[in-house]
Structures are given as structure tokens and as C-alpha cells.
Amino acid sequence: MAPRGGTQAPAGQVGVGARAASFPEKSVLSQLQLKLEKRLLAASACTKSVEQGAKKQRKAEAGARKAAKQSSPAPRVAGADKLEYKDKHRGTQQTIMAYLETCLFLDKPDWAQQCLIFCYHSRKYRKLLCSKMYNILLRGWAKKGSLKQVSGIFFMLHNAGLKPTVESYAMALECMGRVSCAPKKIRQCMKQLEKDGFHLNDLFQHVTYEDDGQDMVLAALRVIQPKYQLPPPPQAEAYTKPVLRDFYSKKLAGLYPKLDFSVEELQELFQKQLDMEMTSTVTIPSLNIIGSLSQRSVKAQKHLASLCSQWQQSLLQGLQESRQHQAKNMKKAGPKALYPYLCLLKDKEYVEIMLQTLMNLPPQGEMLSIVAKELGSKVYIKYMLQKKVCSQVLDKVQRVYKDYVHLLARDTQPDSYLPREYWEKLEASTSPLLMKRDSDWPEAVRLAVGICLLELMVQVLKVQSNLLNCNREWKLIPVLYHVYSFSTNHRIGLIKPHPIFSHVVVDAAKPVLTFSTSQMPMLCPPIPWISPSFGTYILSPTKLMRSTDGAIQHQILLDECPSATLHPVLDALNYLGNCPWKINQPVLDIVISIFNDKGSEKLDIPPPLSEAPKPSKQTSVKMGSLESKAAMRQELAQCRKKAAEMYSLRMDALYMLSIANYLRDQVFWLPHNMDFRGRTYPCPPYLNHLRNDVARGILLFAKGKPLGPHGFDWLRIHLVNLTGLKKNKSLQDRLAYAKEIMEDILDSADHPLTGRKWWMGTDEPWQVLACCMEIARASRVPDPAAYISHFPIHQDGSCNGLQHYAALGRDLIGATSVNLMPCDEPQDVYTTVAKQVEELRRQDAEEGVHVAQLLEGFIKRKLVKQTVMTVVYGVTRYGSRLQMEKQLKDNDGFPEEFLWAASHYLVQKAFFILQQMFSRTREIQAWLTDSARLISQSGRTVEWVTPLGLPIVQPYHQTRRASVQSAMQVVTVKMQFDNSQKPNTMKQKNAFPPNFIHSLDSTHMMLTALHCCRQGLTFVSVHDCYWTHACSVDIMNQMCREQFVELHSQPILQDLAQFMLQKYCTVNSPMCKKSMMLEEILSKIPETGDLDLEKVKESTYFFS
């Protein structure tokens, strides 16, 4: 229906609201706007003077916008449903968004509207408002069916100089559907939607609805179009990158490997995991409690229980008072108000979070910012859990997962779908609700919420001064103290527990430990990653790409990336996460016995705090001796530092072993995500296969497979690899050596703590012990080939970074030294470099060079290993000199006064040798470094795309300080990862070569994982170390080599140069001079040698 009087309606003025059957005429528009503004200002208790000032501000801004439009070469295009950020204030915009969404979750759209009006009339905030903020408010009023309020928001949107998005119209139609709006209003809305460049089907293809929102929009549309049907789902995009050209072809699709569980069992495991996540925390027995408790521990536990009961009441009362205080300041604080965040959970949940944090405080205290961030993050996690439970997300996940397990269960027909594909197929019949990305709280919000709770803890938590000594005077003293420590020129706020409280906690020997569910392995197969915003845990929020607080550019790149481009990365992560694990119980029992018997530094089991060094007693110290006092202070500081380190290591081991002991009879899964380079990591931090030797020694594949004809040999070769004794020997020699030491192997397996203890003297003792036990069991069955083994066998890349450099440069000499070429025995690049440096030293010594003569007998493999290993990661000569100096210093026989001269001499010789051996590697490094330097000097961060299509950006920026005000102190947080800041040129250029190589090794691993998946192999990785069953090592080795050749057959450097030319050297790029220099460098791609990549397929020791 046309507007009354034939006038054209302003963009975005939807015909909704009281008596708003059509758009108003221009002659009455200003009157309507004035009335609306007065009503909104009255609702927000604004004064008349504020209203007049706001009018003047709007008038000035309207003039500025008009002038900007006239001078702009092209008009601003509106309509994209995206946040229009201003980089410098991105964090503030996130704060506003978080506040608005929190108010809506509390079903308080009036609070959100009050905040938006506050921002609209604030110079600081008004320019930061964007369409999505108004859409949040529209969603809240649409749910309530308030047409009048929806109309008001559209007026506000127009007055702010913004245009509605397709989501804005969707919310208006949802509201109309709820109140059975008149057809002419709906037609008016649809006409304006089309005028703004949107299509009817966009309402269902580009908008995410909550609850019954989509049904309401459909109901409104069918009022004017009764036969309207939902558009078909968009066709799945095809993956087009050449490196996996044929992988997603149905002709090559294999059957997805099954798990040793039935459909019913997997559904039960899912319910068990859901029950655990619904509570958001898991409480497990602690290994601190072994056997019967001492009277001292029993007494301490009673004291602690009594104190916690008192503190609960004090915290509850204090929280209510704090909330009342925050409510009074709510209107003045705007989006910084904390009151809504203190209403998200039940009071008891806040108290529980505070007490859990208190119990985990180390005796030496912790930085205030760290404690506050932990408190705020725990509130956020519980909030997100409730948000998913209250919406329909959880119901839909339960329904889809119930059918999803048919792909994995052993009692169903095999299928060729990958987990992501199967989940998407099951979800196709539902609305795209599961794709909605959770809004994260910015670091400033988490800090502010955490500080508020921390202030409460410091104020109300008290303990009796005579709790441990009845002879002392009774009075209540604080449990927590806010103190300051000084680090260089900075003053750091600390939260320290009172020694009385720390003693009680230590004596009580905490019988239980509490973990967030996201810190625990999963009890069922993870939900597959289907997008950057959905996967792994059922309720716990998890990021696809790990990032430091404040870094959001990674998420922006992922969101903008075509969905099909990310399919290989998601599928590889899903395959790694679908590997089931179990605990190696015999090894775990031995580890626990040593852990409880004062630990063992030799075996990497941290000793308890009781073994920490104590300061020596100075019985005769002269009162005026400044030197003695300084020495005592230094000794005391060293003892405290050592004690703090021991406590940290001990608690870390306690957490890992307690979790392992809790899961000793269960099968579990380790969901995966990745860092910004694409390197993959298990999400649970305490128990996983990327940790130390102890953790790897207690983990086994839950699925067992027969050793097969070659598996027993691989098991014994793997043992020798773990010992580190035969690194330069052939596989046949290693196997022969394993047979020679069979007596030691069996003795270690049968009598690990009472026998000859051969396993304790190896490089990786716990993995060696576990392997000895597996070999012993396999050797004692009639047919070892039929033995069912759960043991993971590793194949490790030979200086993998240099392997990628050699392949990029087709460097034959370098490739030979890192085993890319077939050889009878493995080539050890570290030994080769050491021998050549020794030869140069010998020549110099003969010519009378004194430092060369001093170094006779000191140049060993270990001396140069770290330098050779890190040269691929861009280590400088200065860094290498420090490495060499440390190695020489550890040699007792080398004169200390010549350390600097000797290390300086060695670095020169080592770099000269490496330049000769890896000439093309150095050229490529220099090319990458120069490119990154020019890019960062032009004010931009370095970005690239991996051969799989994963977008990468380096998160290194100049430090910016953000402050959070509090009664205790102003908390200043360093922000180095915010892309609103200038890039850190030094870090950008130095980090680019190693990060680029890391992105290639992660690509190689993912390619290998995907092809192992098609072959039905069990596969996991520790970066460039690949794990599988003994029976499938040969097949994995074949996949590994084929995919390395396939990867480096792509024009990697040429593609990188082309990408950077398009991104950084366009006509409109800033800093034209830098762009021209960059263009010149990128046009000179390093030349390549004559290495035949196909030879890699024949190299036995490429990975071994």
C-alpha cells in the first residue's frame, strides 16, 4: 500500500506501532519524531536541557553526514547484516553488545533500551552505535509482541543515520506475526524491505531465529501470501582447492570407521556427558587423600567445613548488598553498569564460584587481574550454559545427536559420510539455530565482573586469629589481602591468602578437586565442528581457533571465509577428536605410588612442597653487616621462587593424575581445536597426549587392533626410538638391538620399581616403561601377530621445519641432510653440522686461533642441536650465541672467562655451515622476512591462506593499555592482540617465517589425517609426530609421504606472492612507496633447485 498523500517513506520506516497503518507524510514526520523522542527521553528520566543538547548534536551530526556524503566518491551501502566496527573502539562496541544481550536474556528489554538511549545521547558512545545493536533490542521487543516499541526502535535507527538490515525487518515481521497484524501493515513492511535491496527469501536464508521466531515470520507473510513456502536450503558449496581435488569425490569416498559401541551405548554416554555439562563443573576425588586421614587432617577439614558454611552466609548477604548498590548506579553507568551481570545466576551460584576460586588460590597469592578474570570467566560460562538450556538449542542438539550416533555405532550399516556431512544432513530439516554464534564477553567485562566479586570476597571473608593457636588473642581477621608487588617499573596488585587459611587448606588435604567441564575429557564422541561457531562440547563454549583475550581478527576472518573452504580443516579436527582413549592402569598405578612418595625429579614427577629448599639458619650474623643481610634476602627470595615453582608443578601433576585416576575405568574423547596457524590441540588442558612423558605414558587407544605381520617389529622399533639410544642407526639395527635387550625389557615390565630399573635411564622413561609392558604381553602369547594392541606407535618428522624449507626450495643438499632423500641409514643434521664445525675449528686451531684451541673436545651434537633446530624458526645470531653459551657453561671443564668469545666464534661457524647446507632455506627466510617487514611498516598485519584454504593473520600489535576502575585499584591490562592497534613490526617480520612453516606442517598433518580416515586408520598427532596402531604404521607412512609430495607439488610460494600482491599492492593501498617496494620483492620469488620430490615417497627415514 502506498504512503498517504503519495509521499515517499524514509528508508527503514516500517508501518508498525499504534495507529501506524502506513508511513507518515513528510509534513508530519518531524512531529511524530519529536513526540517519540520526548516519550523515550521521559522513559529514561532525561532532563529538558539534555534533550535540547541532544537535538543540537543531532543537527550538527546530520550536517557533518551531509557534507561527508557530498565529498565521498561513492555513497555508503547499507543492508549487510554485519557489525560496522570502528577499529579503535571495537572493544567498547563489544561491551555494549554484551550488555544488551545480557538484558535480553534477563527478559528486560527496557533495560537494554535505557542503555541504548544513554549511548545515543552520549558523545562517547553515539558514533559507535550500529544496526546490530538496534536489532538486539528489536529481537527483545518482537518476542514480547510490542509493536509500539518496535516502531520506536525503527525511528531511533533512522535518527541515528543507520539503515535497517534484513534482520531488522525479520524482527518487525516476527512481532506482527505474534499480534496478528493487519495485512496492510505487513505489505507496507515488505515493500520497504524490497526497496532496501532485500529479497523475501533472505528472511529465511540469512537470519537466525530463536524459539518460534521463524514460525511467527512465516505466519505474518502468509497473511498476505497464503501459499508462500519456505525456500529450499541453499546447495552445498563444493570444495575447490587443488590439494584435495579428488578427496570429496563420492567415487573415492571410503566408509567412516566405526567405534566399539552400540547406538544405545553411545546415546547413554551422550546423556552422561550432558548431565555433567549441565552442572558446568565436575568434582572428583583428589590423589592427596590416600589411605586413612591423620587426626590433623580430620581436624583441618572440620575447620574448613565450618568456615565455608559461615562464608556462604556472609557472601550471600554481601552479594545482595552489592547488587543493591549497583542497581542505584545503573542509569548513570550506561553499558558499564554491572547490575545485569549480577542478576544472571542464582545467588548460590555466585557464592559457589567465589568459594571455588578461594580454595584454588596458591599460598603465595596470585595477580589480582588473573583472579578477577577467572571469576568473570566462570560467570560467563554459567551464563552461556543457561542461555543454551533456555533456548531450543539444547533440544535440537539432543535430537540430532540421537541420530548422529548411527554413523559411529558398530551395530549400524557403514556409511561414507564424514561426521560434519552427516550432522549437516540431519540438521537440514531444522532451522539454522545451531549455527548461531555465541556472543563473547570482552576482556574488560569479564574483568569488571570478576573485580566486583573479588572486592566482595576481600571485604566479607574473615577467619579467627586464634584458629590454629588457642593461646593467641581472638579477633576476626581478613582471609584475603590486597597487596602490591613491584616488577621492574610496574606496580602489580596481588591477592594473597592469610597464612592461617593456607595452613588449614594444606592440612585438610583437599579431598576433592573441582574442574570446569571444558577442562575435562568428554565421555562421548564430540559434536562435530560444522562451522567456526559450533562443535565439540554440548554446552560449554569452545572456540574453533584459540586466541588471546582481545584478539578478534581470527574470528572475523573465519566468519567471512566461504563455508566450503573450511571443510577440510573441520573434518580433520573432527577425526582427531573422534579417537577414543583409555587409561593405562598399570603405569598409572606406578606413577601414583611415586607421586605419593615424595615424587622424583629424575622421572619428571614433581615433589611436594615439603621438599622445597629452606633458607639456612644464620646463627651468628653481625647486626651491621649489609652484605650478610643482602645475602639472606637473596637466599630467601630464591627459596620462595623455588617453592612457588614446585607448588605450581605439583598442582599441575595432581590435576592430571587425579583426572586420570577418575577416568581409569572409562573410555573418553579429546575434542580438538587449533591455534591461529592451524596447529591442532586437544581442548582439555590437563590430560592429553600433547603433554609430557608422564601423560603420554598413561594413555592408550581405547580401540584395540591385532598387531598383524609387522606390528610386533614396529612395537620393538618404537621402544628403541623412545630410548634415544640408536638415533643414527637403521630400522634393522634398531630391531636387532631391541632383541638384544629383551631381558632388560622384560625385567622392566615385571619389576619396574624393584628390578634393574633399566627404563629409568632412557630419554622418555614412562613411555618406555609402558612399551616394555606391551612388548612383554605380546611376547607371551602363542601368536604375537594376533595380540590385540591398544598401544600408540609414533612416527616423528626428521627436523620437520627444515624438511618443509628444503621442499619449498627444492634444495637437494638440504633435503638429503633431513631425510627427504632415500638413504640406507638416517641422516642426522645435528651430527653433520657438529662435524663440519669441528673441522673448521681444527683448521683454525692449527693456524693458532686461541679460542679454537680452547674448544677442542667440546664440539658435540648437543652443543649445536638447539641452534640448528631453531634456525628454521628465525633464531638470531644473538639468540644462538646465548644457546651456545648455555651449553658450554654446563660443561664443567670449559673456562668461564672465555664463554662469550667461544660462543661468538661457534655461532659464526655454525651459521656459515648452515648457509652452505641450506642456502635456499636462508633465501626463502629472507624473502618472507622482507615481505613481512614492508607489510607491517605500512601499518597492516601479515595475512596469508594455507594450501587448504585456512585464512591466517598474525596477532602481533603495539601494546595498548586498557583500564578497569575498581575500589581496590585501577587494573591495567596490556592489549597486544587488538587489530585496532598498529602492528608490532619486529614481531610481525620475525614471526612470519616460522609461522608460515608451522601453517605448512599443520596442513601436511591434516592432509595425512583425512587420507588415514578414508583408509579406516586410527590417527592422532603431536604436530609433526604422527600416532597410529602398530598394524597400520606402514599404511600411515605411505599416506604421510604421499601427502607431503602432494602438498609441495602446489605452487606454494607463487600463491603466497599472488595473494599478497592482491591484498597489499592494490592501487588504493596506503603507503604507496612501501607497496611498490613490496611488489618488487614479491615479484622475485626465490629460485628453486633440482630436488625430485617423488623421491620422498621412497625415503624410509622421512618420518620414522
C-alpha cell of residue 310: 559461615
| Strand 534-536 to 672-674 pairing | unpaired
Tell me the β-bridge partners of 491: 486
CB-CB contact of 739 with 716 (8 Å): yes
Burial of 942 (0-12, 13-18, 19+ CB in 10 A): buried
Helices 166-178 + 213-224 axis angle, to 10: 80
Question: Residue type at 716?
Answer: R
Distance, in Å, from the CA atom of 244 to the CA atom of 928, rounded to the nearest integer, reads 26
Tell me the β-bridge partners of 794: 1027
Q: Nearest-CA neighbor of 572 among 1026, 1101, 992?
A: 1026
C-alpha cell of residue 361: 588460590
E strand or H helix at 390, and its extent?
A: helix 368-390
Strand order in the sheet with 490-497: 366-367, 490-497, 480-487
3 state DSSP class of 461: coil
Distance, in Å, from the CA atom of 644 to the CA atom of 634, rounded to the nearest integer, reads 15
E strand or H helix at 990, and its extent?
A: helix 985-1014
Map grid coordinates 619396574 to a residue. 752
User: What are the helix (H) ranges across 561-625?
Assistant: 567-577, 585-595
Distance, in Å, from the CA atom of 1091 to the CA atom of 497, rounded to the nearest integer, reads 63
CB-CB contact of 663 with 583 (8 Å): yes
Eight-state DSSP code of residue 1071: S
36, HSE (Cβ side, Cα atoms, 13 Å): 21
Write out the catalytic residue numbers.
796, 865, 1024
Distance, in Å, from the CA atom of 958 to the CA atom of 977, rounded to the nearest integer, reads 8
Distance, in Å, from the CA atom of 319 to the CA atom of 353, rounded to the nearest integer, reads 12
Burial of 606 (0-12, 13-18, 19+ CB in 10 A): buried
- Exposure letters 780-793 (e unless 16+ CB within 10 A, then b): eeeebeebebbbbb
- Phi then psi for residue 974, to 5 deg, are -80, 125
Burial of 292 (0-12, 13-18, 19+ CB in 10 A): exposed
Q: Nearest-CA neighbor of 347 among 456, 189, 212?
A: 456
| Strand 672-674 to 971-975 pairing | unpaired
- Exposure letters 71-108 (e unless 16+ CB within 10 A, then b): eeeeeeebbebeeebeeebbbbbbbbbbbbbbbbbeee
C-alpha cell of residue 1032: 597400520
- Exposure letters 610-623 (e unless 16+ CB within 10 A, then b): eebeeeeeeeeeee
E strand or H helix at 536, and its extent?
A: strand 534-536
